[in-house]
């Protein structure tokens, strides 16, 4: 597995766990449920941004421009077209 897939998988797992914890706390009647829900909402926005920044840093480390494409499906598409 390459670093891009690992980063995406970690992001999905983090988001799933945060929403699962929020649901568990809501069902048990915990008074901190609203706080966990707000943390989950904020992390829904922040986790993908952090992953995208991580992918940009990987591109920079490989010597590519920081604003180059960061997603592998675009690289594969270019490879098939011969560009």
Give the residue from 19, 10, 13 showing the smallest Cα distance to 41.
19
Distance CA 7, CA 47 (A): 10
SS3 26: helix
- Read off the pLDDT of residues 2-37 as tens digits, 9 standing for 90 and up: 877 887 888 889 888 888 888 888 888 888 888 888
With tokens 């390459």, the residue in question is 2
- Read off the pLDDT of residues 32-53 as tens digits, 9 standing for 90 and up: 888 888 888 888 888 888 888 8
Q: What is the pTM of this model?
A: 0.58
């Amino acid at each position: 597995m390459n670093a891009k897939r690992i980063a995406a998988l970690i992001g999905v797992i983090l988001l799933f766990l945060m929403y699962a914890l929020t649901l568990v706390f809501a069902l048990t009647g915990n008074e901190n449920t609203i706080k966990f829900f707000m943390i989950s909402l904020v992390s829904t926005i922040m986790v993908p941004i952090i992953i995208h920044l991580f992918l940009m840093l990987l591109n920079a480390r490989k010597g590519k421009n920081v604003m180059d494409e960061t997603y592998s499906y675009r690289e594969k598409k270019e490879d098939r077209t011969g560009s």
